[in-house]
């Protein structure tokens, strides 16, 4: 069994429907080109205000993926 080595990148996900959807959008898009994504952490949460209401939710994610052997 080999030790795992990870690379960490930052992604920004957004959604009109909520924070969880913003996270899911970012991870779904990243997983199309990045393999072995194993974990994420939410580093920042913010949003856009339009006419006094939430227009978009945004999350900054730190995402870890395993480097291939």
Rounded distance between C-alpha atoms, residue 65 and residue 40, angstroms: 9
Strand bridging mode 37-50 / 6-15 = unpaired
Over its length of 69 residues, how does the chain's per-residue pLDDT go in tens digits? Answer: 468 899 999 999 999 999 999 999 999 999 999 999 999 999 999 999 999 999 999 999 999 999 987
Domain ranges across the chain = 6-66
What tokens does 12 get?
Answer: 């920004």
Cα separation, 44 vs 35, in Å, equals 24
Give domain 6-66's CATH number out of 3.30.1660.10, 3.30.470.10, 3.90.245.10, 3.40.50.1820: 3.30.1660.10
The pTM of this model reads 0.88
Name which of 41, 39, 43 is nearest 60 in CA terms: 43
Q: What angle do CA 58, 40, 54 make, to 5 degrees?
A: 15
For position 68, what pLDDT does the model report? 85
């Amino acid at each position: 069994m080999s030790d795992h080595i990870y690379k960490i990148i930052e992604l920004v996900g957004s959604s009109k429907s909520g924070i969880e959807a913003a996270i899911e959008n970012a991870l779904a898009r990243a997983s199309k080109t990045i393999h072995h994504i194993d974990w994420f952490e939410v580093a920042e949460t913010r949003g856009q205000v339009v006419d006094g209401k939430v227009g978009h939710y945004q999350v900054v994610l730190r995402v870890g993926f395993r480097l291939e052997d």
